[in-house]
Amino acid sequence: MKPDLAEVHRRFPAAAEYLSGIYILHRDYGQAANARLSHWVGVSASAVTQALVRLKRLGLARQERYGSISLTPAGRTLAVQVLRRHYLLEHLLVRVLDYPWEKADREAMLLQNLISPELTEHLYRYLGSPQTCPHGNPMPGSPVEPGLLAAPRLSDAPVGRVLTILRITEEGEQVPSLLETCHARGVRPGARFRVDGKDRRTIRLAPRGGGRRVGIPLAMAWHIRWAASARRRSPESGS
């Protein structure tokens, strides 16, 4: 029987947040430990333990004693449904309703359990079958997913590198004020910068095409991924 997200939500209202968290931690780190899931959801270790008991009873998660948490096939199916709804709602908020990019994640979290599968598929078609969320994170199973997941961290970018911002990770979206900082400084998917300098606390970026240099704390830059950009040849080069 196909798992029903509405029924799971009725029986355990926080299930969607836990399932998507476990899925993303596995996707980005290869495993989901209790401590990292606790940090992700923003609850105590004992609350995570109790949540896992409920997810196991629902047949959605499993865990060896003191081992990594994993999703059952049913749990993975529901996690993918949650993420697709979340990403599509973010697009609806940002692109259609002109809602602030840096606030869309929080609102989508509130709405993701309220829409039907039919509306989810309608949004996917209406929005042009997006492959990522507005913050650059890939739709589960999309063709761009492997490349985006393997992209290097901005905190490791060398000085002098010309780069394009690809994504602010889902974990980064949970960091207080990170999205607001990125929005204020123009650091979002598609933006091009040259790494102008770096010290132990900050990476400094010069926007390509002009503009004021901006600084991003390395602790935040750790959650931002990039790809190398081709340097634009000057007209004097003759090519």
Residue 180 has a CB neighbour count (10 Å cut-off) of 13
CATH code of the domain containing 30:
1.10.10.10
Q: What is the pLDDT of residues 63-109, one digit of tens each?
A: 877 688 999 999 999 999 999 999 999 999 999 999 999 999 999 99
How many domains does the structure of the chain reveal? 2
CATH code of the domain containing 206:
2.30.30.90
Q: pTM of the full predicted structure?
A: 0.89
Among 75, 94, 126, the domain boundary falls at: 75
Tell me the percentage of the chain whose pLDDT exceeds 90: 79
Determine, yes or no, domain membership for 128.
no
Work out the average pLDDT over 142-149.
95
Angle at 124 between CA 131 and CA 26, to 5 degrees: 50
CB 182 within 8 A of CB 102: yes
Among 75, 105, 120, the domain boundary falls at: 75
Point out which residues pair with 214 in neighbouring strands. 205
Identify the domain containing residue 195 by its residue range.
151-228
Determine, yes or no, domain membership for 48.
yes
AA identity, residue 156: D
Determine, yes or no, domain membership for 126.
no
